[in-house]
Amino acid sequence: MLLLDTSALIELEGELAASTIGPFRAFLGRHRAEDLACSTVTVGELATGRDEAAIRVFLRRLRKIPLSEAIAYRAAELDRALRRKGQRLGENDTWIAATALYYSATLVHADGDFDRVEALKCARPGRD
């Protein structure tokens, strides 16, 4: 499963709006057989300041992964480990990374914040 971070979806949205095949559309084209998902945290981040109906249409083909107690414990474990190193993520990114870790998903993102999570499988289209 590919878990798409908010940053990846924003990049994808830009490529779609411009009708261009950029790194994110090309990456997803190469991974057509993969299940695509996003965290409900990502849904919330995208919906901030935007039209709900438009976000629902944009995300319609993605599986939405809800938060769970198991993900909460994974997020707490991750936050403790990163805090010990002085490398904490933002709270939302911690939840998103914990979701990817819990599901053994590859996290697709556009920024380097997740690179500090050692056990996390990541893909950064255009940079990998």
**Residue 128 above 70 pLDDT?**
no
Task: Kindly report, residue by residue over 31-42, the tens digit of the pLDDT.
Answer: 999 999 999 999
Q: Is the pLDDT of residue 11 over 90?
A: yes
Better-scored residue on pLDDT, 37 or 112:
37
* pLDDT tens digits for range 94-105: 999 999 999 999
Q: What is the CATH number of domain 2-123?
A: 3.40.50.1010
Residue 90, pLDDT above cutoff 80: yes
How many angstroms separate the CA atoms of 27 and 10, rounded?
Answer: 14
pLDDT of 111 reads 87
Helix (H, G, I), strand (E, B) or coil at 122: strand
For the residues 102-124, what does the mean pLDDT come to?
94
| Sheet (strand 63-65) strand order | 63-65, 36-39, 2-4, 106-108, 121-123
CB atoms within 10 A of CB 3: 30
What average pLDDT does this structure show over 46-53?
92
pTM for the full model?
A: 0.95
String of DSSP letters for 38-78: EEHHHHHHHHTTS-HHHHHHHTTTSEEE---HHHHHHHHHH
- C-alpha to C-alpha distance for 27 and 62, rounded to whole angstroms: 16
Domain assignments of the chain as residue spans, ordered by start:
2-123
* The predicted structure's pLDDT at residue 118: 87
